[in-house]
Chain A
Amino acid sequence: MVERMITPILTLLLGCAEEAPVYGVSFGGERLPVVDMHLHQGEWNLIPESTRRFLASRFPAPLGLIAESTAEGSLNAEGVLEQLDEAGVIQGALFAVYAPRTVGVATNEYVAEQVLQDPERLFGLGSLRLDDWNNDAEAQLAGLAATLEKPGFIGIKLAHAHQHVRLDDPRFDALWSLAAATGKPVYLHTGSSPFPNTAQDAAYTDPAYFEPIIAAYPDAQFILGHLGYDFINKEVGALDTCVELAARYENVWLEPSALGSAGSDPTGANLLTAYSAMKGAGVIDRVVYGSDGPQSPGFVAEYLERSVAAMEGAGYTAEEARAVLSLNFAAVFGVEPAPL
C-alpha cells in the first residue's frame, strides 16, 4: 500500500518511469507478439462443490483449507492481466463457462464486465447452458446472441464433456447456424478431463464424433481445444484425429492449451509430439495458441515457455511461430493482429 503511494511520487520527482512489462517472446532471433486465447476467471462460489473440493485438494496444504481466499487473487481480470504481463502476453481471451456440474459457471455478464477492465487487451468468448435444451433452447440462444453483440466478444465456448452433451448430439443446429451467421468461431473442449463428474466416454471427448457437424457447417469455424488430449492418462489421446480433421476441413482450427503443462506432460514430450504432428500435416496456419491459465501464479508464463520450446524442438520457423502465437488468432476471430 505504502509502496503504491510512494512509487508515483518518486516517478514524478526522479522522472524515471516504473519498469514496464516487456511483451512478446524471442523466437529465431525475432521478437514475436503473443495472444493467449484460453483464459479463465470467475467466482469460487459458482464452482460446484465437488470441483471446489478437487481444486482445494490440489493446493499445498493447509492452503486448501482456505481455498476460497487462496484462489481469489487469481480469478479476476486484474489477476489475469498481472499474469499476462509477467508472461509478456499482450492480449488474451476470457471464457464464459456454463458447466454447473463439473467445472462451474462463469457467466457471460461476468466475462463482459471483466473484458471492460481493459478492452484493448481482453476479449471474451460467450457461452450458454446446454443441459435443459429441450426446454430452454430459445432462451439460451437469445442470451448467447445478445452476448455476442457486446463489445469484445469474439467467439463461443463449449465443453461437451463438462456440459454432459454428446459431440454428435443432433439438437444444436440452431447454435451452429448462429455461429456461421455471426462469424463467431466455436471453441470446443476435446479429450478427457481431470474434473470430477466429467462425461469421459468417447462420444463426449473424441472429436471424431463432431465431424458430421464440421462437414455440415462449412461457414462456421470450429476450434478443437486441447487437441483431444487424454488428461487422465497423460497421453496424446485424439491428437491424430484433430490434426486429420484440420487437414481435411478448412473450418477446423487447433488449440494446444493445457496438455503441455508440467502436470499433464512432465517431460514436454507430448507437446513436442503435438507441435510436430501439426507441422507435419501442414496445418500450422490454423493453430491458435492458448494456455488454459491462469490456474496458479506463473502458469501463463511457464506454459508459453514450454510451448516455445516445443515449437523450437519441432523446427518451426519464426514466421510459423508468429502465426501460432498471434496471427492465426487475428485470422480466425477477425480482429486486428496484436501489436508487440
Chain B
Amino acid sequence: MSPLSLLLVFAVSAPALAERPPPNPDPRPMGPPDPHLDALAGASDLGDWAVSLEAGFPFFGARGQVALPWAGLNAVGSVNSALFTDTWALGGVSKRWVDTHRVVLSGEILVGGTIRSGDLSRRGPASQTTLRLARGHGRVVPALTLSSRHVLLTDVQEIQTAEGDVVQRSRSIAWSPVASFDVGVGVCPGFAVSAGLDVPWFDPPGFSLPGAHINLIVGGWK
C-alpha cells in the first residue's frame, strides 16, 4: 500500500467507522456504492456507475462503466494511451463472476481499435480481455488486473512488375498484455483514489519498463 493510501485511510476512516453499524455479513452491504471497489472490480451493481481517470507512466486513460438491466452485465468504455503514442479505444461488457464479502472476480471483453504513431507505428482493430480480482469490501481495496490485448495488423506490399502492380496482403496478430496491481481508497461517498503499478509488455518478446499510475474514481447511483 502506498504512503498516500495510508494517509487517506487515517484521514477518512476514524469518523466514518464510529458512525457505522456493525459489519454487515451480507456479501454486498447496502448503502452508497464504493466507486473504487466498483471500478477496481470492473463492474457496478444495478443502477450504479463509475468513471476513473488514470495518469502515470506510461499510461494515461479514462474508463467508464454502467450497470445494464440484464444478466448483471455492465457496459464499459475505455480510452487508454501509452505516452500519448499508443492509443486504444475500446468498448464492451463486463460482469462479476464471483462476488462475496471476501473477493470479487470479474471478466471483461472489449473490442475497438488501436493506433500507434511514431517510428513503431501500427493500427488495426483490437480487442482486450480482462480479469480483475479485488477484495470484496472495505474502504481500502487491493486489486489485481490482468489484461490481454490483441491487435489485428494488415501488411500491404505493392510489387511493381512488367505485367502491372501486384498487391499482397498478409495478416498477423500482435499481443500486448498488461498486469496491474492497485490499492484503492474511498475518500468520501462517490469519490475515491487508487495508486498502482503496471507491468506492460508492449511488443513481446522485447523488454518493457514497468510503470505506475494514479486513478481518480467517481461513482454514482440512482
Given contacts A62-B82, A62-B202, A65-B82, contact A56 B120 (CB under 8 A): yes
> How many A-B pairs with Cβ below 8 Å?
54
Tell whether, in the assembled complex, residue B86 and residue A60 are in contact, meaning their CB atoms are under 8 Å apart: no
Tell whether, in the assembled complex, residue A62 and residue B116 are in contact, meaning their CB atoms are under 8 Å apart: no
Tell whether, in the assembled complex, residue B206 and residue A62 are in contact, meaning their CB atoms are under 8 Å apart: no
- B207 CB contact (under 8 Å) in A56, A61, A65, A68: A61
Tell whether, in the assembled complex, residue B85 and residue A61 are in contact, meaning their CB atoms are under 8 Å apart: no
Q: Is the interface of A mostly helix, strand, loop or mixed?
A: helix
Min CB distance, A18 to chain B, in Å? 32
CA distance A66 to B82 in the complex (A): 10
Chain B residues near A64: list those with CB within 8 A: 119-120, 202-203
Tell whether, in the assembled complex, residue A65 and residue B202 are in contact, meaning their CB atoms are under 8 Å apart: yes
- B58 CB contact (under 8 Å) in A55, A56, A62: A62
B200 on the A face (CB < 8 A): yes
B154 on the A face (CB < 8 A): no
B21 on the A face (CB < 8 A): no
Tell whether, in the assembled complex, residue B119 and residue A67 are in contact, meaning their CB atoms are under 8 Å apart: yes
Tell whether, in the assembled complex, residue B119 and residue A62 are in contact, meaning their CB atoms are under 8 Å apart: no
A63 on the B face (CB < 8 A): yes
Residues of chain A from 38 to 71 with CB closer than 8 A to chain B in the complex: 49, 52-53, 55-57, 60-68
Tell whether, in the assembled complex, residue A68 and residue B120 are in contact, meaning their CB atoms are under 8 Å apart: no
Chain B residues near A67: list those with CB within 8 A: 118-120
Tell whether, in the assembled complex, residue B118 and residue A62 are in contact, meaning their CB atoms are under 8 Å apart: no
Tell whether, in the assembled complex, residue B82 and residue A57 are in contact, meaning their CB atoms are under 8 Å apart: no
How many residues of B are counted as interface, with CB atoms below 8 angstroms from the partner's CB atoms?
17
Chain A residues near B206: list those with CB within 8 A: 57, 60-61
Tell whether, in the assembled complex, residue A65 and residue B208 are in contact, meaning their CB atoms are under 8 Å apart: no
Greatest chain B CB density within 10 A among A53, A64, A65 is at A65
CA distance A53 to B85 in the complex (A): 14
CA distance A53 to B83 in the complex (A): 17
Cβ-closest chain B residue relative to A55: B119
Greatest chain A CB density within 10 A among B120, B200, B203, B209 is at B120
- B116 CB contact (under 8 Å) in A49, A52, A63, A65: A65
CA distance A62 to B200 in the complex (A): 9
Tell whether, in the assembled complex, residue B119 and residue A53 are in contact, meaning their CB atoms are under 8 Å apart: yes
What 1/0 flags go to B203-218 for Cβ under 8 Å of A?
1001111000000000
- B203 CB contact (under 8 Å) in A52, A61, A66: A61
Cβ-closest chain B residue relative to A67: B119
CA distance A106 to B89 in the complex (A): 39
CA distance A44 to B202 in the complex (A): 22
Chain A residues near B202: list those with CB within 8 A: 61-62, 64-65
Cβ-closest chain A residue relative to B86: A65
Cβ-closest chain A residue relative to B57: A62
What 1/0 flags go to B56-88 for Cβ under 8 Å of A?
001000000000000000000000001101100
Cβ-closest chain A residue relative to B117: A65
Chain A residues near B83: list those with CB within 8 A: 62, 65-66
Min CB distance, B194 to chain A, in Å? 21
CA distance A66 to B202 in the complex (A): 13
What 1/0 flags go to B109-126 for Cβ under 8 Å of A?
000000010111000000
Chain A residues near B58: list those with CB within 8 A: 62, 65
Min CB distance, A72 to chain B, in Å? 13
Chain A residues near B200: list those with CB within 8 A: 61-62
CA distance A56 to B200 in the complex (A): 17
Cβ-closest chain A residue relative to B207: A60
CA distance A234 to B108 in the complex (A): 45
Cβ-closest chain B residue relative to A71: B119
Min CB distance, A297 to chain B, in Å? 15
Which chain A residues have a beta carbon within 8 Å of chain B's beta carbons? 49, 52-53, 55-57, 60-68
Which chain B residues have a beta carbon within 8 Å of chain A's beta carbons? 58, 82-83, 85-86, 116, 118-120, 200-203, 206-209
Beyond A60-B209, A62-B82, A65-B85, 9 extra complex contacts between A and B, CB < 8 Å: A53-B119, A53-B120, A56-B118, A57-B120, A62-B85, A65-B202, A67-B118, A67-B119, A68-B119
